[in-house]
Amino acid sequence: MRGLLASIALLAACVSTGASAQTATNLSGRYVCVRGCSAPAPGLPAIVTQNGTEMNLVNEAGVSSRAWVDWPGHIWAENYQQGAVFSPDGMVIQFDHGTVWQRVLPPPLPLPRLR
């Protein structure tokens, strides 16, 4: 019985560490390019739309790319032909060629007025 429980636990650990570890960070949102930007002047925000390990990227110059998480903490952007690492909290994405995007947080919601 003990061996059976250990086998089940081992199997569950093996199954849960693959794709689930790769999608723990949600990168969806708006980013501003802070270094190595494609646009000559501050332009549009960079946008990331993520669905599981698949995502769509649009950089600050409006160039789009399909991308995916290829290992934990790293994405590959197909049309940009480069990879990128991202911080565990999803606040920073740094591409292999030096471009850095920083997440733009929405302003906080206003507090309700008391009557």
- Domain segments of the chain as ranges: 2-103
pLDDT for residue 11: 42
Q: Over 50: is that where the pLDDT of 7 sits?
A: no
Question: Global pTM?
Answer: 0.73
The reply to whether CATH 3.40.50 applies to domain 2-103 is: no
Q: Over 50: is that where the pLDDT of 40 sits?
A: yes
pLDDT tens across 71-107, in order? 999 999 999 999 999 999 999 999 999 999 999 988 8
How does residue 30 score in pLDDT terms, banded at 50, 70 and 90? very high
CA distance 34 to 15: 38
Contacts of 45 (CB under 8 A, 6+ apart): 30, 31, 32, 60, 104
pLDDT for residue 31: 96
* β-sheet bridge partners, residue 93: 86, 101
DSSP H or E stretch at residue 30? strand 29-35
Query: Degrees (nearest 5) of the Cα angle 12, 17, 100?
Result: 165
Query: Degrees (nearest 5) of the Cα angle 43, 53, 8?
Result: 155
* pLDDT mean over 49-67: 95
